[in-house]
Structure 1
Amino acid sequence: MLPEIPDPVVVAAKKSVTRLVMAFLAVQAAVVGALVLYDAFKHRQRTKRPNFPQPGVFEGRVADSEVTIYTYGEDLYADMLAAIRGAKTRVFLETFIWKSDDTGRRFKEALAEAAERGVEVFVVYDGFANLVVPQSFYRFHPKIHVYRFPVLRPSRLFTPLRSTGLDHRKLLVVDDETGFVGGYNIGDLYATEWRDTHVRITGPSVWDLRQAFVGVWNTVCAEPEIPHHPPQSWDPHIRTVNNIPAHLVYPIRGIYLEAINRAQSHVYITTAYFIPDKQILRALIAASKRGVDVRLIQPEDSNHVLADWLSRGFYTSLLREGVTVLLYRNAMIHAKTATIDGHWSTIGTANIDRLSLTGNYETNLEIHDRAFAADMEKIFEIDSTNCRELTLTEWKERNFAAPISETILIPLRPFL
């Protein structure tokens, strides 16, 4: 049988498509490179220390648990370190970024002291997020149980991408009595120069945060296994919601969608990076169309220029439908919070982007409480005073090259 001779037209068409794809990728790479260089230049021009309002510390009670909201890193770190130094039985610490600076060393020393006096200490940190930190820093006290999420995992080759996410969580649980969760990583930069939000819980609801840590440790780390303890009570007012890539479980996206779809009065969202999927974008627009006051705070210039430009690709759709876009100035706002209708709130580690909602290990608290929501609204109001509102007219008049660049970057949305 004679070999089949390729159709010249088909061959030419395939070559043309290949050339077009390669040309598009080259243009896309050029845009990304230009943005990174421009951002680096802007950062060199900034000599001032970031200046931003500090909403303060908010204390309250939700059902049988005491809750404290932190909006400034130094306040949070002082209480976290005090909890570790006062630990009697066990400490669970999980963080995405852990710098080898003064703040990082203080945490490391406090954990070593706890282990030395007989406290069980378990530590989890992400390897990829800390590639720039000297590995010598992560030599812990020999009694501390440590798991480093590896940068390269064989599972990435044989399982779906959604099952191999980074560990983006920031958790601390002490003696099964006190728990912390939120957006703060560990480092000097976050202590004073970033605006973020964290929450402390003391009481029965700490069990949920304990279980969040134990569930991941026993699934991914395995040795030594931490025993399961059932909760002492069932509190529907505070719920811990966990994204677990190893199980392909991503409920945080669901709680956002459900809460936005229920909204009748207002939706106030603060997020470091806003790269929503179609359903979340449509939910926000639909809420605005039915008369809900939808407001979004995010950085005017974040620490990731590519994420900024991907976010900007959504502004036209949001502004056209009446969503208020507030750009936080003069500092990085890294909070991952929302409050809706004066009743529902969430604080946690998940941004509204693809990596957080369908990729990484994340933990958010879902809180149903009017007093807590009132505090969250106060924080949002104070943060809003440090924002400028973006208008549709201003956005339409931006440089002609901007929308072209935003369009070229659209294919990168699923990866961030």
Structure 2
Amino acid sequence: MTPRAALRRPRRASARRWVRRTAGAALGTQLFTAAGLLALDSIRRRGRPEREFPRAPARALPVPGGEVRVYTYGEDLFEDMLADIDAAQERVYFETFIWKGDEVGGRFRDALVAAHERGVEVYVVFDEFANLVVPRSFYASLPDGIHVLRHPLVSGGPAFFMPHNWGRNHRKLLVVDDEAAYVGGYNIGGLYATKWRDTHARFAGEIVVELENAFVDYWNEQGGKPLLPQPRRRTWSRTTRVHRNVPVDYVYPIRNMYLEAIDRAQDRIYLTQAYFIPDTAFTRSLVNAARRGVDVRIIVPHYSNHIVADWLSRVGYHKLLRAGVRLLRFENAMVHAKTATIDGVWSTIGTANIDRLSLAGNFEVNMEVLDASVAEHLERVFALDSGNCTELTLEEWTERPLINRVTEGILSPWRPLL
């Protein structure tokens, strides 16, 4: 070994130690900051009084080939879902991200069991990870004749380390016979019945078969037993389309659906999002829309149920506010809706958040609706929700405390992960 090579070796070792220590210190600071935010959020929630939030009554809207009923209050939605399950004659496809083992969750379990006992074929899907805190006995009480598929904690077999196998099943679907299909943001549980502001839709008519097909495809591709037959008929609806993210197939159409619609906007864009962490291209699309004179308004929770996600969302606020995007913070309740309406023509209701986990990670379903009556109704809902919001201005954002800026900077490297 030459003297020069001998000198390089300790220098390289020293550099590696420096890199490891720096990375460790950065990660430690990020974890400490996140832990501090979680602790402060826990203190903030204690003793917080429950408050009413505005809600629009469920309303049925005729569309070509069927009907759309929009729900903004969980109790109303759950009653209609249970009524449809009780009326089922042939089959029920039930899929949810979270299924709480509380009173509301028990009502759904009992309705599914009753349907099975009267001869209805019942198929159930839920996400294993999202329900780790639910007692196993709750699901064990389902009789053997009900077909259950748990989206596993780890999937992909030997290829589990590949990112396309990491997606959770974040979908919320209910399909009953050929009569009704539900999709939206609501999980199943008492919390969501009265305390969260969310949006769901019930579809009747020709589009039901498309949501049925979405369930069947997932069930069969994920190894559900027995295999389900494909629907005998499909539809080429010009009004309503189903968009599905299927990570195992590298298929993510929901993000492109949004980007295409935003790019077409000429007058107004109204978004309501639970977790708003858009990527660079999505942010650029909204900024460009605002700069060409489109009225862009976004409702987000002032405080969501994931405080770290709130802070990661705020990292991108400056670009949006500077371009003229209006940010409205929903107060006194968690707004969990995933909806948008553009130009009084285009709308979407579904399960996908505007973040990486939903748009490039999880199994998701969104409905795209081209109908003026649906858009008009969602605009009224948006106006009602706006009355429960405080607007964040560019001046207020620019003058936020230094500690807030530091916290955002510390956590910002996590943004691409969520």
Say whether the fold is shared (TM-score over 0.5). yes
Contact 1:163 1:248 in 2 (8 A): no
Structure 1: distance between partners of 2:143 and 2:364: 27
In the alignment, the residues of structure 1 paired with residue 399 and residue 204 of structure 2 have an alpha-carbon distance, to the nearest angstrom, of 50
TM superposition score normalised by structure 2 = 0.97
**In the alignment, what sits opposite 2:73?**
72
Q: Does 1:36 align with 2:38?
A: yes
Q: Which residue of 1 aligns with 2:18?
A: 16
> Does the 8 A contact of 2:154 with 2:166 survive in 1?
no
Asked if structure 2 preserves the Cα contact closer than 8 Å seen for 1:193 and 1:332, the reply is: yes
* 8 Å CA contact 1:252, 1:364 repeated in 2: yes
1:99 equivalent in alignment to 2:100: yes
- Asked if 1:267 is matched to 2:269, the reply is yes
Q: Which runs of 5+ in 2 are unaligned?
A: none
Identify the residue that residue 167 of structure 2 maps to in structure 1.
Answer: 165
Is the counterpart of residue 186 in structure 1 residue 188 in structure 2? yes
CA separation in 1, counterparts of 2:35 and 2:45?
Answer: 15
Deviation track 1:271-324 (CA, whole Å, cap 9, x = no partner) reads 000011111010000100110000000100000001101011111111111000
Give the CA RMSD over aligned residues: 1.5
1: CA distance between counterparts of 2:14 and 2:162?
34
Q: Which residue of 2 aligns with 1:390?
A: 392
Aligned partner of 1:291 in structure 2 is: 293
Counterpart among 275, 278, 297 of residue 280 in structure 2: 278
Shift of 1:181: 0.3
TM-superposition CA deviations, 1:339-372 (whole Å, max 9, x none): 0011000000000011000000000000001111
The verdict on how the C-alpha distance between 1:116 and 1:340 changes in structure 2, with shifts beyond 3 A counting, is same
Unaligned runs of 5+ in 1: none
Structure 1 segment 141-156 matched on structure 2, within 5 A = 141-153=143-155, 155=157
Please give the residue correspondences for 1:327-342 in structure 2 after superposition, counting only pairs within 5 Å. 327-342=329-344
Query: 1:394: how far off?
Result: 0.9
Match of 1:209 in 2: 211
Could you say which residue in structure 2 is the equivalent of 1:26? 28
Cα 1:2–1:135 change in 2 (3 A) is farther
Amino acid at match of 2:196: W
Q: CA deviation at 1:7?
A: 3.3
What residue is the counterpart of 1:55 in the other structure? 56
Give the partner amino acid of 2:70.
I
Q: Which is worse superposed, 79-88 or 218-227?
A: 218-227
Contact (CA 8 Å) 1:204, 1:231: kept in 2 or not?
Answer: no
Amino acid at match of 1:102: E
Structure 2 residue aligned with 1:240, among 239, 242, 245? Answer: 242
Structure 1: distance between partners of 2:416 and 2:323: 24
Alpha-carbon offset, residue 232 of structure 1: 4.9
CA distance in 2, matches of 1:56, 1:129: 30
The separation in 1 between residues aligned to 2:359 and 2:153, in whole angstroms, is 20
SS at the partner of 1:365? strand
Amino acid corresponding to residue 28 of structure 2 in structure 1: A
State the 1:50 CA deviation: 3.1
Please state how far the C-alpha of 1:396 moved relative to its aligned partner.
1.5
| CA deviations over 1:238-269 (Å, ceiling 9, x no partner) | 00100011211110000000000111001100
Contact 1:310 1:410 in 2 (8 A): yes
The Cα of 1:143 is off from its aligned counterpart by 0.9
Identity of aligned residues (%): 52
2:327 is aligned, of 325, 334, 342, to 325
What residue is the counterpart of 1:132 in the other structure?
133
Paired residue secondary structure (1:88): coil
Q: Does 1:108 align with 2:109?
A: yes
Aligned to 1:377: 379
- The answer for the alignment partner of 2:86 in structure 1 is 85
Local SS of the residue matching 2:67: strand
Which of 308, 311, 314 aligns to 2:310? It is: 308
Q: Structure 1-normalised TM-score? A: 0.97
Contact map agreement 1:84 1:114 (CA 8 A) in 2: yes
The Cα shift of 1:17 comes to 1.8
